[in-house]
Amino acid sequence: MGKVSIGLRGWRFDEREVFDSEGEFKPLEEIPDETRLRLERLELLVTSPCQACWLIHGDANLEECNVAEAVYGEPRSEVLLCDEHEPDFLYWFQEDGGREYMGEDELKDAFHEWFADDGRAPGNYEGIEHVETDPEDVPEPSEIDFEEMQVEAPEDDEKIDLRDFDISQEYPSS
């Protein structure tokens, strides 16, 4: 099991903390506190407007705002973004000083100030390529041709150059 986004991109959850062995949501009391807080916040956020759109259009024109597709930051000071404005946030965070607010409650306000002051990603900035997987599209193990995936072993007389291996890793000792 790995990490998954639920409802909105951005926040990632450890599948083992959220889902039981059958893939169903665990009861809230079985979910660690920090993860539970994020899940409870998501319930409120999934239909919220993009905050960048809101900065452009304001409360009077909320119908002009796109629905948020991504969430970044800490619960209760998170930044909600649509697909159009997510690259602006990522650019600000990765290239224009936003990283200094990582994990801080000030992240949301700092991004809002930058964006309201005409901060935008350059037109050629692509941000992150998201891969969305529908659980129905993931093949069952019985459908995978493992023989096709095997790597050929070297011949008995073929030498292996150990300089090609990363031996700097720390491995568990017994």
What DSSP line would sit under 27-63, residue for residue?
Answer: PGGGS-HHHHHHHHHHHHHTTPBPHHHHHHH-GGGGG
Residue 21: strand pairing partners: none
Decide which of 84, 101, 126 is a domain's last residue. 126
pLDDT band at 83 (very low <50, low <70, confident <90, very high): very high
> Are 28 and 83 part of one and the same domain?
no
> Are 56 and 24 part of one and the same domain?
no
pLDDT number for residue 169? 45
* Percent with pLDDT over 70 in the chain: 72
User: Does any domain span residue 105?
Assistant: yes
CA distance linking residue 3 with residue 11, whole number of Å? 9
Q: What is each CA distance from 135 to 4, 70, 99, 116, 153, in whole angstroms?
A: 11, 20, 33, 39, 33
User: Does any domain span residue 156?
Assistant: no
- Split into its structural domains, the chain has a count of 2
CA distance linking residue 112 with residue 89, whole number of Å? 10
Q: Report whether pLDDT(129) > 60.
A: yes
pLDDT number for residue 159? 56
- Identify the domain containing residue 28 by its residue range: 1-33
Q: Report whether pLDDT(118) > 60.
A: yes
* Percent with pLDDT over 90 in the chain: 56
User: Does any domain span residue 28?
Assistant: yes
CA distance linking residue 113 with residue 102, whole number of Å? 16
User: Does any domain span residue 29?
Assistant: yes
Q: What is each CA distance from 89 to 5, 54, 118, 144, 165, in whole angstroms?
A: 18, 14, 12, 39, 38
pLDDT number for residue 71? 96
> Are 62 and 101 part of one and the same domain?
yes
Average pLDDT of 78-85?
95
Average pLDDT of 120-136?
71
User: Does any domain span residue 167?
Assistant: no
pLDDT one-digit tens code per residue, 25-76: 999 899 999 999 999 999 889 999 999 999 999 988 889 999 999 999 999 9
pTM of the predicted model as reported, rounded to 2 decimal places: 0.69
Give me the chain's average pLDDT, please.
Answer: 81
Determine phi and psi for 73, rounding to 5 degrees.
100, -170
The lowest-confidence range among 16-25, 28-37, 122-131, 162-171 is 162-171
pLDDT number for residue 126? 76
45, 7 in Cβ contact below 8 A? yes
